Copies of this chain bind each other. A is one copy, B any other.
Amino acid sequence: MGCPAEDARLATEVLLEADLRGVDSHGVARLSGYVRLWEAGRINVTPQMRLVHETPSTATVDGDSGLGLVIAPRAMAIAMEKARQVGTGWVSVKNSNHFGIAGYHAMQALAADMIGMAMTNASPLVAPTHAVDRMLGTNPIAVAVPAKEQPPFVADFATAAAANGKLEILQRKEKKAPAGWLQTAEGLRSVNANELKAGGALLPLGSDKTHGSHKGYALASIVDIFSAVLSGANYGPWVPPFVSFLPLSENPVGEGIGHFLGAMRIDAFRPADEFKQHMDNWITTFRQANVKKGEKKVLIPGDPEREMTEERLQQGIPLLPPVVRDLQELGQKFGLSL
Interface residues of A (CB under 8 A from B): 53, 55-58, 60, 85-88, 90, 92, 115, 127-133, 135, 143, 145, 153, 155, 157-159, 161-162, 178, 180-181, 183, 186-188, 205-207, 210-212, 214-219, 221-222, 224-226, 229-232, 235-237, 253-254, 264-266, 268-270, 274-275, 278-279, 281-282, 285-286, 289-293, 295-299, 301
Contact = CB atoms under 8 A, between A and B. Distances in A.
Given A53-B269, A143-B218, 13 more contacts: A55-B268, A60-B270, A130-B292, A130-B299, A131-B291, A145-B225, A155-B219, A155-B222, A157-B212, A161-B212, A180-B211, A230-B269, A235-B278
Nearest to A222: B143
B232 A270 contact: yes
Contacts of A270: 53, 60, 92, 230-232
Please give the count of copies of this chain that the complex contains: 2
Given A253-B278, A279-B225, A291 B212 contact: no
A239 to B, nearest CB: 12
Contacts of A143: 218, 222
A289 to B, nearest CB: 4
Contacts of A232: 270, 274
Contact of A285 (B129, B212, B236, B286): B236
Contacts of A296: 130
Nearest to A184: B292
A172 to B, nearest CB: 19
